[in-house]
Amino acid sequence: MRVGLDSRGLLNEEYRDKLQRMESLLISLKTMAEKELRGQALTEEEYDAVRNIGGILEGLVTFSPQVKEQIESETDERMAIVADVHTDVNSGQVLEESVGNAFLIYAIVPIEGQTAVAQGGLFSYYEFTHPMSDRLTDEDWQAMSPKPDQPVWTESFITE
């Protein structure tokens, strides 16, 4: 993406830097995952990256005031977003897919021969029809209460 956008003159220095840092982070995470799958210990530097992943990601999505003013809104501060993925003009309905607030997840993980409990976030997922005459914006979705039920197929692995 970085190379394609840059070759078209669509990246300023800030975007280019963030995309390069994202690429580096993803390669590091891939390397760490491969090491864990092979049962190899992570280095202290790798553990530092895992411990500080929140700050690292925040740095990638936090922009200078000039850029922030152009690309962000208050809605962007929340996780919940919605998208029309199909329109059925015969029924007058659109198929919406969305994520809501994060679910808490706990996982038992091996860390250097020890078993530990890790906590993190998991995307919630919704799929529902809605009138095409009232297409949802992210703001509408965030304000919607109650949310529709999650798809039946998620019941086997999501419990509340």
Which residues are CB-contacts of 102 (< 8 A; sequence separation ≥ 6)?
79, 121, 122, 123, 124
Q: Is residue 57 pLDDT above 90, yes or no?
A: yes
Which of 72, 98, 113 corresponds to the end of one domain? 72
- Could you tell me if 62 and 107 lie in one domain? no
Q: What is the pLDDT of residues 136-145, one digit of tens each?
A: 999 999 999 9
Angle at 138 between CA 71 and CA 26, to 5 degrees: 60
For the stretch 118-124, contacts whose Cβ atoms lie closer than 8 Å and that sit 24 or more positions apart, written own/partner, are 122/158, 123/79, 123/99, 124/99, 124/100, 124/150, 124/158
How high is the mean pLDDT of the chain?
91
Which of 72, 103, 131 corresponds to the end of one domain? 72
Which of 24, 50, 72 corresponds to the end of one domain? 72
- Could you tell me if 109 and 153 lie in one domain? yes
Identify the pLDDT of residue 43.
94
What proportion of the chain, given as a percentage, has pLDDT over 90?
Answer: 70
User: Where do the H-state alpha helices sit in 38-137?
Assistant: 44-51, 53-61, 65-71
pLDDT band per the 50, 70, 90 thresholds, residue 160: low
Q: Is residue 159 pLDDT above 80, yes or no?
A: no
User: Residue 119 in contact with residue 105, Cβ under 8 Å?
Assistant: yes
Average pLDDT over residues 44-69: 90
Number of domains in the chain: 2
Q: What is the pLDDT of residues 63-121, one digit of tens each?
A: 888 887 777 777 777 889 999 999 999 999 999 999 998 889 999 988 888 899 999 88
Average pLDDT over residues 130-152: 94
**Residue 60 CB burial class (10 angstroms; 0-12, 13-18, ≥19):** middle
Give residue 135's identity as a one-letter amino acid code.
R
- Could you tell me if 84 and 153 lie in one domain? yes
SS3 state at 59: helix
- Could you tell me if 81 and 159 lie in one domain? yes
The boundaries of the domain holding residue 115 are: 77-160
SS3 state at 113: coil
Instruction: Give CA–CA dist 75/150, Å, rounded.
Output: 22
**Residue 144 CB burial class (10 angstroms; 0-12, 13-18, ≥19):** middle
Q: Is residue 147 pLDDT above 90, yes or no?
A: yes
Identify the pLDDT of residue 113.
83
